[in-house]
Amino acid sequence: MPEIRATQGKGNSKAYPYLLDVQSDIIDELHTRMVIPLFPVSRLVNNPVKRLTPTLNVEGNDYLVMTHEMASIRLSQIGDEVMDVRSHRQTIKNALDFIFDGF
C-alpha cells in the first residue's frame, strides 16, 4: 500500500462523499480500484469499532474510514484527489489488518 489517496466519488452520495483509494499503483492494468468509503462523523448514529473505523479529517471535516465497506469500483467512478493521506498509512493498514486477520 505505497500510496493512499482521498478522492471524491463521482456519484451524488451524501453518505459517502469521499473514497479512500487503497490499491497499490503497481497494479495498473486493471480498470478498477479498491476503495474504502469515508462517512461523515456528523451523521454518526452508533459508536463504531474505533480500530476498524478510524477518523480522518478531509477538507476540514471528520470522516470515518468505513473499512468494512471496502469495495472494488471502476476507475470512471473515482473523482479528483482531494488529499494525500500517506501520513495515515499505518492507521489505515491497522484497520485492514483488523478486518482480515483480527489483530
* Mean of pLDDT values over 32-37: 94
Burial class (CB in 10 A: 0-12, 13-18, 19+), 73: middle
Assign domain 5-101 to a CATH class.
mainly beta
Task: Report which of residues 47 and 31 the model is more confident about.
Answer: 31
The amino acid occupying position 96 is L
Pairing of strands 55-58, 32-40: unpaired
| pLDDT at residue number 8 | 86
Q: Hey, is 94 helix, strand or coil?
A: helix
**pLDDT tops 80 at residue 32:** yes
| pLDDT at residue number 11 | 76
Share of the chain above pLDDT 90, in %: 55
The structure's pTM equals 0.88
Residue with cell 500510496: 3
